[in-house]
Structures are given as C-alpha cells and as structure tokens.
A and B are shown apart, each in its own frame.
Chain A
Amino acid sequence: MSSAVKSGLRLDPQTFEILRHRLWYINDEGALTISRVSGSPVATEVFDMNAGLMTGEGDLVYIDNFICAQATTLASLVKHLRAEQAENPGFEPGDVFLCNDPYISVCHQTCVQVAGPIFHGDDLVGWTGASLHAIDTGGPTAGQVQLDAADIHGEQPLFGPVKVVEKGSFRRDVESTYLKNSRLPDLLALDLRAKVAAVDVIRRRMGDAFDEFGVETVLAGMADIIDYAETLLRARLREMPDGTWRHRGYIEFGDKVYDCHVTMIKEGERLTFDFGDTAEQAPATINCTVHGLRGGVLAAVLVYLCWDIPWSPAAISRVVDVKSRPGTVVHAAWPAGVSKSTTTGIWEVRNLASITIGKMLAASERHRSRAMAGWQGVKALEELFGKDDDGRPFGGPLLDGMAGGSGAMPGRDGIDTGGHTSSLRATIANVESYEYRYPILYLYRRQTQDSGGPGKFRGGAGVSMMYTAHGVENIDTKILHTFGVEQPESPGLCGGLPSCTNSFVILRDSDVRERFGSGRMPAELGEIEGDLEIFGAYANTSMTSDDVYRVVSMGGGGYGDPIERDPALVADDYERMLVSVEWAERVYGVVLGEDGIVDEAATAARREAIRAERRAAAAAPLVPGHGEDRGEWDAEADGVRLGEALFYDVSGAAPVYRSRAGYVLGPATHAWHELAAIARFPVQRIGPEVNANHVNGERFELRELYCPSSFTLLGAEIARKEDPILFDAELSLDALASTGAVA
C-alpha cells in the first residue's frame, strides 16, 4: 500500500503499469490507422496527423507522437461539444463529430478534426479523436494558404462541430456538404474515412479493455495516467533552477514584421509562459487562436522536458500556465484569419517555448546535456496545383522542407536533416514518390552546406532542393509559404549561432534542358543560365519546364562559441560537405589546408584574429564600470551555472556574474547583457545561406554579446534593428541566495 500512498494512484502498481501500456498502444493503433486509410501523402508519408484518448470530461490522457498540436486541440473540441451539443443533437454510441473551426479547437481550417464519445453500455465514459491535415477544404485559393484574405471570411469555409456519423452510419447530407467545397473531394472523403476509422478502432479496443479489466479499472487507469505524468513532471521541475527566461522571434508577412515574445518563469513545481507582449494580430493567415497557442506550448514541454514521462497533455496543463493577450498574433480574436497558423503563429509559439526551456536546461547542472538549441525554426514549404499532360488534376503540398536540422547540445551536434519538433516521426517522401505524383524533376535534394547553426557544437544541417517542371509545360499554381527568409529563426544557445534562413528563388527561362541534353546534371543554380526571380516569405506563382526552382529550408541552432569547436570536428564537417573551407575559416576560425587537413598554427592565429575582430567591433557594456578580472577559477565547481561560459559567483556578499575564464562582469542585480560587450553585424555574418539575396534589405541584425575580457561569445540574438537587447536569462536571486548559503 505504501506505493499507492506515494504515488496517490487509484490502481495497484502492476495493474497501472499494464494499463498504461495498453492504453498507449490503443491510441497509437488509432493514429496509425489514419495513415493506413488516408489517401493523402500528408498522412501516408509525412504523418501530419494525430490521435488522442480523453476522459469523459475531455481531458487528454494520451496523444501520440505525431503532430502534437493536432491532438492537444482535441480537448477543446470535446469541451465545446459537452458545453454546446450534449442535449442537441446529443451523444449516442457510434457518433462522430467533425470540426474545422479554429476558434473552437483546430489549429487551422485544413487540420480537420473528428471526435467521438466512448460508451460503456449506456454510459459515456470517454472520448477519442483524430486529426489530419487535409490538402484542400475549399476557399479562394487551393490548399491551405489564403494569402489575400482580409479576415477569416476570406479563408476556407468553417464546418461544425457537426455530427457526421450518427450511431455508426455516415450522414450523407453532412458529408456531401463538407466535401463539395473541396477541389479534391475524393481525397477529402478518404481522409474523413481515415479519421473515422481511427476513432472506431480506438473505441473497439477500449471496449475490449473494458471487458478484460472492468470499466471502473480502465477509467481509474486513465485518471491515474494523468496523475502519474503530473507527479513526474513536478519532480522534473523541482530539479531545475528557478529563474526567468525570455525569447523574441519574428514573423515576416507582407511588408510587416510581427514580433512575438515569451517570458518563462520557473518557480518550484510551476512553469509559466507569458506571451502578452506579442504584436497585434495580422488580418489573416499567420495568426493562431488560443487553442493553437496552448498546443504549441504543450508540444515544447513534451519534447524538451518529458523524455521519460508519458505524453499526457492533461497532466502538463495542471503544471504549466499559459498567459496571452487576445487580439495578438498568438491569440487571435475573431474575425482574424489563421489559415496558415501551423507554420507561423503556432510554430513561433513552439520555437519560443522550446528555446526558453532550452535556456533553463542549459542552467541545470544535472540536465544540461539535454539543453537543445532551437530545432528548425520554420520549414520552407509549398503547394502545387495544376493539370497533368492527360488533363488530370493534381495538387498538394511538397513537404521536403520538413527535413530541418535539430538543435545542438552541450556535448553533441544537432542531427543533420533531423526534422522538427512538431512531429518526431515526420518523414519526407522519396524523390521518386513526388516525381510520380507531381509533374516535376529534381535536379538535387541534399543537406545544405553551411546551413547548420555554427557553435562549439554545430546545429544540424537543413535541406535544400532544386527542380524543374517535367512532363507538362506549366504548373499553374505554386504557393510558397514560410517565414524566416530575412532572419534566421532557429535560435542558437549559449553563444551558438542560428542556422541559415529559408529561401525561395526561381531561375526563369533557363537553359536547363540544353544542359540535360549535353549530358550534364547541374549541381547548383550557378551552373545554369536564366533570370533569377527572388521571393519573400509568401508568394503565389507558377512555373514552366524551362524554370528551375530552388528552395532552402532551415537547419538547427548551434551551441556555444563557434571558435571553441574542436578543429577536427570542423574538418570532419568539411569532409561531409556540411561546412565549406571558406566558412570553416570565417565562422569557426579553422583553417583547412589541402585535402581538408587542419592547419593548426593558422587556426590558432585565425581564432586570435577573430577575438581581435570582436574586440574591435564591440561597444562597451550598456552599464559600464563593473568589470573586473579576478583571474582563473573553477567555474564548474565553485560557480552556479547560467550557461556554457557564464556563471554566478556566489562566494562574496552579493552574487556576481563571472565568465568561465574568471572575469567578473558585475552584480547579479543587473541583467548580464548590460554588463557584456556587444557587437552588431549584418545577419549575413552567420553563413552564406543567411538571407543571401538581401530580401527586404536589412531589417534585422545579429547581436553578439561577449565576455569583455576574453571575448568569448556568451550569447547571440537576432533582432529588428530598432528593438532593444533582450534580457533573456536570469536565475532567481532568492534561489541564488539559498544556493550561496549552502555553498
């Protein structure tokens, strides 16, 4: 019994352990059913989908590790149904409800959800739901991105929640109404069947579990899973230092830039994210609703903190607070449109929440090996629509851009083309699959050189590709959409730099066909003649079989000062074609000789030169008069860690910031940023794929913050030129005082 006392669970430990696995498998089988039944590549190949299992009250017990926010928002749908539709039309066994209204639940209008009650006899004892990104649900522009919408009325039509399956039978009237707006109604119908099949599978398996264990036991197990995950998350948070961390990101859309902010406060067992300072909402397209906001935060908490904790969103909601202001980009107020929220507002929320947790982890002596810099800050994506040479329509997304890089960590590089944290099982389709489905021919698809965020540990490389239309003369509609074209969105950590930016260009009326004919497969745009057309973050265009399209999608952020990277690792990067000779020298200070061998002497000299350049470029600290060199110390043993090369020295009367090298920056009552040397550079300093085409000029800059003595890079930020320096990390002085007392 003592275990029950300790865990506070309803079930005995072995029954709990057995049910915990069983219910996970049940939900997972539901999610996989979506991909098996759907006809859409977003489900079958890239797994842009998810499923969730809920209590009778609509609390999410489990979500699968596909796209997080697609499932976390199911709870909002069920809570809405319970509040609004319990009496009329009411809930019956076998019912399934359909919804694509982002102000009720979904991320955006093309992530269509279904949810259905789970009955045991006459009792409604639970809910389950499934979500899948549909390729086209109607609206002025094919696909998901409604570029010219003035508000949500100019985006895709809204449906539901409406009962689409009644007591196990499809309602033809509802289904046909739903399908008729789509340009691809057959595909949409198959997607709907896929989601309904998932709900049915989960309901069937739950019925089996009720028979085997008894309904009370299963329901107690569902409640216990939430309690259990909550207990573990609270314990995890207790292991982390108390403090405040911040981050700021930007979404470029049209001529405007929307700044998004988070302040994360960790105190004891609680974590609070406050997005209140975020910019006012845009008319349409890039905002997200509060449901998407919460989903984005949950996804970050799951990926960064729940490495051995069951993925139970209801548990996280009990420990994590999310604050926001209605009418902002991350908390849209009706009638703002949200048609592309998943890769704008929600994605930015996840970036912000992820990197602030990363900063907290970097300050945790115990868990810092898991402090990941930002994964792919946003993916560069597109959708194609047109008719093939037989006059048959084709259409859908090309999702190669998902192969982003992962963030670097203390001790290891990010994963090259490792994806993004929105879905750990995300998969890009084969080139042959895309060429079979769409009339295109790839010139290449590769890991982009110099794309991973530079650092002591390098961010994972992103992906790039080039293709031309093939088998047709024209691809009529080609929608390009992303952000982070002018400024890199995958943040580095502790002095690590961000990755490359996203980029879209088309070489018009090129001679690519002649090159083919002469037996050459061009490897880069430079090997083809044509007229270069450069795009910003959003475009609606078309292309021909003489045009060559090139796209670059972000890698991951780096960790730590790049000039501290082991030169042998840089040489290895060069061999793997991930870092060029030029940028090895420029950003890592590593000079490679013939055959890629490190020139030790030249490298040492170059690194000294970089420090000198930093010293020359840097301005004095914002708050001068504090610095003092107290000589070397054993920072890891005697200091309290804030980051890779920055600590608190709590040995004196009042805590001070002290660099790893021993230099005292000044008192901890200031933000350390005010005490660091600061230099400002064009963003292009980071690498050759960082807004190489100078889209929209120079609206952003790179700021590097150094130890004023050693000129080690302590932190780097990307900011709009007019924005202030962000004070992005501080431990609680109270907590420091108690640490000092212990010391």
Chain B
Amino acid sequence: MSYTVAVDSGGTFSDCVAISDAGVVTKAKSPSTPPDFERGVLNAVGEVAERLGFSLRELLEQTTIFAHGTTVATNILINHDGAKTALLTTRGHEDAILIGRTVQKVAGLSEEEIIDVARLRKATPLVPRTRIHGVDERVDRAGQVVVPLDIERLDDLRDRLRDAGVEAIAISLLWSFLNPEHEQQLRDWAENGANGDGPFVTISSDLVPVMREYERTSTTVLNAYLTPAVRRYLGKMRDELRGAGHTGAVAIMHSAGGVSSVEEASRRGVSLLSSGPAGGMLGTRALAERLGLDPVLATDVGGTSFDVGLVVDGDPSYAEMPVYAQYPVALPTIDVPSVGAGGGSIGWVEPETGILRVGPQSAGARPGPACYGVGGTLPTVTDANVVLGRINPDSFLGGRMKLDADAAYTAIQTHISDQLGMTVEAAAAAMIDIVDAQMADLIRRVTVERGLDPSAFAVFGYGGAAGLHVDSYSSKLDCPEIVIPRVASVFSAFGIASSDVKRIEMVSEPMLAPFDLSRWRVHFERLERKLREGLESEGLPTSGLELRCYVDFQFRGQVHTVRTPVYEEDLDAGDGGEGVIERFAELYEAKYGSGTAYRKAGVEAMTFSVEGKATLPMPALDWIEDESPDPDAALLERRPVHLGDGSAAEEIPIYKAELLRPGHELVGPLVVEAEDTNVLVRAGHRLWIDGLLNMRIDLGGNQG
C-alpha cells in the first residue's frame, strides 16, 4: 500500500489526511504546537497512522508524497518577528513603501473600520527607514538606462548593511521588469563574498516582474522579511520527515493554488501567505470535479470569519490585489474574501437606538461563546443556535465538550432580549437571521462584482459552523444544491493532498494595440522556458505539464486589467492581436456589463504570463455504491427545534452523520449531528448521501 499524506498546519490545529492508493481517506486532527509547528504536524500524522494501525515510521515509509500547507508565513507577519531586512531601491524612491500610495491606511479594512477615521494607521513598517537605501541608478519607461549604476560606489553601503546585522535584502528598482540588469548587478554584489551564509537576497525582477512599483516593492520586501524563517521551518520539517522514514517527495502549498518543492518555497516565503485558504479552495475544486459540479461556491464558516471562494470552469479565481497586514502582494493568489461573521460573532443592542447587531466583534475560542463555559458571557451566534435547539449541548464535538445551555440563554436574555422586549428564542432567531444575511451579502458581493449570478452555483459548506447556516444563505441566493463534504473538518488538508504542482511566470511590458505578435511570442517563449526549467529543478514526480498563456489587457488609461487567454493560433493570426482583443472585450463586458467596453479609448497589453500545471500521482477516491434508501438506523431522536422566528419549536428528527450511508434520502426539516459539526436541513429540502459519504442537499424541490 502507498499513501499520499497531507497536513494543513494552522494556528490552533494541524489537520492530516492520508489517502491510500485504493482511494480510502483517513483523517485526524491534533493541536498545533507553536513555535515548533513541525511537532504538531508529526503528531497529526502519527494520529492518522494509528487509525490505520501503523507506526508513524511505517506510514511515512509508505508515503510517496507528503504535501504540506503551513501558516508559518502568516504567523511571522502577525508576530512581526521576520528577518532583519534592508531594502535597496532607486534613489529618490525610498519612501514608496512608507507612502503606500496613501491608501495603505485603509487597505484591507472593512467599512466600519474605514469610517473610524481617528483610528486609521498605516502598516507597521517591515523595513525601518534607516534600512531603506537609495542607490544612484535609473531606468526609464522604455527600459533605457538614464542613470548608470556604478557598483564601485557601493562599498560604504556594504559596510552599513553588515554593521546593521541585516539578514535579508530586498532589491526593487524602478522599471526593473523592463530592464533587470541593475537589479541583477546589485544582487550579485550583495551576494558576492558571502559564501552562501550571507543575507538572503531577493530581487523584484525575479520574484514579481510586473509594473507598479509600490505593489512590486511591497511583495519583494515581504519576501525578504518572511523567507529566512520559512526556509528554516521547511528545512527542519523536511529533516524531521526524513528522520522519521519518509523518502518520497515533499510538496508545499502556495497561495496560487498549487504546490511546489521545498527548495522553491524556500526562496518565495511570501507565496505561502494564503496557503490555508488555498487548500480549502483546491479541495472544493477536486471534489467538485469528481462530483461533476461547476460553478461552485466554496464557503468556510469558522468561529470568527466567513470565507468565500469561487470555482468557475474548473479553476479558482485569483484576487485582484490581495492585502496582508495592509501590504499588497502582486503575486497570483487564490481569491478568498472574508467577513467577520461566524459562530463566535457577538450579538449586541446599540444603546442609542435599540437596534440589534451581530459582530464584527467575535468571542473567538477564548473567551468563547457563553455556552462554552470558559469565561465568555456575551451572546454569540453559537449560543443562539443552542437556545434554538439546533445544537444539542450534550453531543457537541461528539459529546467531548458539554455546553452550558443555561449560560447561552442567560447571555441572550441579559444582553439582548430583555432590552428589546422580546422572548429569548425570538432574539436568538433574529441574531441568526442577521448573520445568515451577512453571509449571503458577502456571497452576493463576491459573485455579482465579477458579473456572475449566485443562483447558478452549487455551494460547498465546510468549517465547523457551516452546517447550521449553509442551507439558509444558499436558499436566500436561490442556489440549487449544497455539498457538505465528508472530510469537511479537515478540508484544507484534503485539498492540499489533491493539489497539482503549479508555477506561474510573468512579466510586464505595457504596449498599445495594434500589437507586434512576434514580441508576444518572444515573451511567451522566454516565460515558458523559464517555467519548464524551474519545474524540472523542483524534482517533484510530476507528469503531464499543461501550459496556458495569458495577457492582461486594459482599455487605455485604466488600471483594472482582465486576464485573457492566448492560444498558439492567435500568435499566427497576423491580425495585430485583433482576435485576442475581441476575446478581452467579451470577458470585460461579462464582468462589467454589456456596453462598457469602449474600444475607441485604445487597448493596452500590460502583463504576459504563462501558467504551468503538472499533476502529481494521486489516487482516486473510493466511490461506494448506494445501499438502502432507509435512514432509520441513523435516527438518534426527535426533539424540539426552533426553525422560524423563535415563536414556536417543532419536533424534528435528529440523525447521526456517521450512520448515514450512500443512498439514504431524507427530507427536512431535520438536523444531522456529526462528530465535528451539525447540519440543519430546512423544510422541504432533500438530504441525500453520495458514494463518497458527502452530505448533499437539494434546495430546488419543495416536496415537503
């Protein structure tokens, strides 16, 4: 037997799945162990091994691919304990990253945060001004050298960098994507004589050769700041794996929605920042493909946040400009917008007006919902679900954690219902209404802003709190169908296990239509060559490289580009790119509405990219044939649950998820209790179990 093993190491838990070559999935969770995360990772693998009847070594010896997603980069950013970093940039532009285009003070903030003007701040500098060094040099918009770089003059700078004890150097010069020579010379100079144990050096024309110096420099600085610690962690992780008997490949999840080798990830720490959410998206993609569903909304409902991603035509979408800790990152990143709404969101009554509100404050895991009995006294969404009978306080987390229903009741009574003059149940129902609406609003925004209709999407719901809300927000949006994956609680790890190896090479060269297609070909060929060489050097056991070429276009003067696919025949068309421009205009109108494409303004090509995907050997999941349609064996009890506005409870059936089998069909209202989540199916909605043991809910038919 051989296995693919994947671990998603998060702030609280390390989740592990092992998939056998027969397609059988085994999962486990183990607490994370900061700051030595590698221990928690191995513990989680050990748990899975135990469930399979192996020792850790026995499992790892049979593991062909170990795939890993890690929050190590995110943690460094949160704790602000990255490498001591210096930035070398074009003289006169030292402040670009501090000015942050002014908008840095509101970047990534919510509406509520933005209007609280007196509390706005810029990002905490990752490189203090004293370690930002301007270098005499200049390239212009044509890529021509205006001020030559004279390396001989930099001796003084070398001393200053050494005296400051710099551990990482970011190099980002103006227009370097058109002419990288100065950056390359500076890199060689910075690395010269260091014999490999000098500072880590990263240059923008290598990492992110795209136009717009603030975003490019921010990305490069983040990479310098994060990579040394990422590299140390990954090195340690790999050594531990090797020591524990793993001889197969190690692959690391990155933000663009694929994996790369440890070596590659150890040069691009910045690309690990969205490793976790990307895992969930890839799990959705893989499972949706297997189930034949497209397009799909991936919704992750946790304790503090609600995350939404899209899979359209088999691919997750990229974010326009992801922001971390108020810094933009100009690398392709799976788009997973988020709002502060989850099980821990706190309900409150605005004193001046008597309006009921939910969030954005969250009780998180500590002090937690009132019903957890670990210090929280404020009413949360989880408390409301307990009051409404949707969570059984005795069987939460498989009965391992007893909830205090009285505390939940008292919290809502004290803080909400008494003040509003309504019953506790009505107040709880109102809280759920509000939070469900917030979730639906985010989905609506995410879809309609991209010109998409939410009612066309199947909805995947995962994360601990999804089951009780997914039916409601999906129904509000007229979505046809819901999938609650069998592996919902470790879905990110599952996604990492099913990932491809992915690389993206790109370069900006702004040009105006009509285009010289031979110039395009030069770019694509160069990018493809770079991509193939990079992939080969990764040494992962891949097959079937699939390449796709894109040009980011905009109408002249705009900054919002649309990524448009380009095919071989386009380059031979001899039409100055007219065919591709037509394709761009169609995509543009699909996104922004018909009639919005205004060709007379002129069309500009900004960035060329080649995306390469190669598959890792990955077993297909085992599909179980339907058994009996009768779910009675899974029925736990019937108990009263509030389903409406909190005025009356209905006696409804409660099922045990672990006993539901393929072929079972049930009609709501009902609740399913699983080890790690509860699922509420509303009246008339049909629940069925598929061959992978996923829970499926049809929202279309109103048979009930």
Contact residue among B93, B118, B120, B601 (Cβ-Cβ distance under 8 Å from A190): B601
Q: Is B213 at the interface (CB under 8 A from chain A)?
A: yes
Q: Scoring B residues 44 to 75 as 1 if CB is less than 8 Å from chain A, else 0, what string do you get?
A: 00000000000000000000000000000000
A427 to B122 alpha-carbon distance, docked (Å): 13
Inter-subunit contact A197/B593 (CB<8 Å)? yes
Residues of A participating in the B interface, judged by any CB pair closer than 8 Å: 1-4, 6-7, 9, 12-14, 16-18, 21-22, 24-25, 28-29, 32-33, 35-41, 44-45, 65, 186-187, 189-190, 193-194, 197, 200-201, 205, 212, 228, 231-232, 235, 302-304, 306-308, 311, 369-370, 372, 402-403, 406, 409, 415-419, 421, 424-433, 435-437, 441-447, 463, 466, 470-471, 516-517, 519-521, 523, 575-577
Query: Which residue of chain B lies nearest to A404 when distances are taken between CB atoms in the complex?
Result: B102
Of the listed stretches B192-200, B349-357, B687-695, chain A binds B349-357
Chain B contacts for A189, CB-based, 8 A:
598, 600
Interface membership of chain B positions 549-562, coded 1 if the CB is closer than 8 angstroms to chain A and 0 otherwise = 00000011111100
- Contacts A44-B560, A444-B92, A445-B95 given; 9 further ones with Cβ under 8 A? A6-B354, A37-B592, A205-B448, A228-B355, A409-B118, A415-B122, A416-B98, A416-B99, A418-B122
Task: Tell me if B102 and A427 are in contact (CB < 8 A).
Answer: yes
How far is the CB of A8 from the nearest CB of chain B, in Å?
9
Contact partners of A303 in chain B: CB under 8 A:
117
The complex places the Cα of A602 from the Cα of B96 at a distance, in Å, of 35
Chain B, residue nearest A441 (CB): B140
Taking CB atoms, residues of chain A closer than 8 Å to B174 are 431-432
- Pairwise interchain contact A471-B142, C-beta atoms closer than 8 A: yes
Q: Which of A16, A306, A431 has its CB near the most chain B CB atoms (within 10 A)?
A: A431
Indicate whether A16 sits within 8 Å of B95 (C-beta atoms), given known contacts A471-B140, A521-B136.
no
* Shortest beta-carbon distance from A20 to chain B in Å: 8
A and B contact pairs by CB, cutoff 8 A, 13 listed: A2-B421, A3-B349, A33-B593, A190-B555, A304-B117, A425-B106, A428-B99, A430-B214, A430-B215, A431-B96, A444-B92, A447-B95, A447-B98
Instruction: Establish whether residues A421 and B117, one from each chain, have CB atoms under 8 Å apart when the complex forms.
Output: yes
A424→B116 CA distance, assembly (Å): 10
Residues facing A in B201-233 (CB within 8 A) are: 211-215
When A433-B212, A519-B148 are in contact, do A24 and B98 touch as well, CB less than 8 Å?
Answer: no
Given A29-B448, A190-B598, decide whether A445 and B355 contact each other with a Cβ distance below 8 A: no
CB <8 Å contact, B91 and A370: no
Query: Which A-B residue pairs are the 9 nearest by beta carbons?
Result: A444-B92, A2-B421, A6-B354, A3-B354, A427-B103, A370-B118, A14-B430, A39-B557, A18-B437
**Are B115's CB and A29's CB within 8 A?**
no
* B510 at the A interface (CB under 8 A): yes
Cβ-defined partner of A186 (8 Å) among B95, B98, B419, B598: B598
- Chain A residue numbers with a CB within 8 Å of B349 are 3
Is A41 a contact partner of B355 (Cβ separation < 8 A)?
no
Residues on B lying within 8 angstroms of A by beta carbon are: 90-96, 98-103, 105-106, 111-112, 114-122, 128-130, 134, 136-138, 140-142, 146-150, 153, 174-175, 211-215, 349-350, 352-358, 419-422, 430-431, 433-434, 437-438, 441, 444-445, 448-449, 476, 510, 555-560, 592-593, 595-596, 598, 600-602
- What's the minimum C-beta distance from A353 to chain B, rounded to whole angstroms? 14
State whether A520 and B136 are in contact (beta carbons under 8 Å apart), knowing that A415-B105, A427-B101 are contacts in the complex.
Answer: yes
- Do A437 and B557 contact each other (CB < 8 Å), given the known contacts A14-B356, A197-B592, A521-B136? yes
Contacting residues, chain A, for B95 (C-beta < 8 A): 417, 445-447
| C-alpha spacing A200/B595, complex, angstroms | 12
The answer to whether residues A519 and B147 also contact, given A231-B352, A426-B102, A442-B92 and a CB cut-off of 8 A, is: yes
Q: Which residues of A contact B213 (CB under 8 A)?
A: 430-432
- Give the distance in Å from the alpha carbon of A362 to the alpha carbon of B441 in the complex: 38
Shortest distance from the beta carbon of B413 to any chain A beta carbon, whole Å: 14
Contact assessment for A7 and B353 in the assembled complex, using a CB-CB cutoff below 8 Å: yes
Q: Which of A39, A40, A201 has the most CB of B within 10 A?
A: A39
A440's nearest neighbour on chain B, judged by CB, is B141
CA–CA, A44 and B557, complex, Å = 8
Assess the A424–B117 pair: CB atoms within 8 A. yes
Q: Are B434 and A575 in contact (CB under 8 A)?
A: no
For the complex, what is the distance from the CA of A436 to the CA of B174, rounded to whole Å?
A: 12
Asked if A14 and B101 sit within 8 Å, CB to CB, the answer is no
Cβ contacts under 8 Å, A304 to chain B: 117
Closest-CB distance, B186 to chain A (whole angstroms): 14
Residues of A within 8 A of B102 (CB): 402-403, 417-419, 426-428
Contact pick for B146, options A232, A441, A523, CB 8 Å? A441
Closest B residue to A17 by beta carbon equals B434
Q: Which of B141, B215, B560, B601 contacts A187 (CB 8 A)?
A: B601
Q: How far is the CA of A243 from the CA of B295 in the complex (A)?
A: 60
Taking CB atoms, residues of chain A closer than 8 Å to B437 are 17-18, 21-22
Which single residue of chain B is at the shortest CB-CB distance from A575?
A: B130
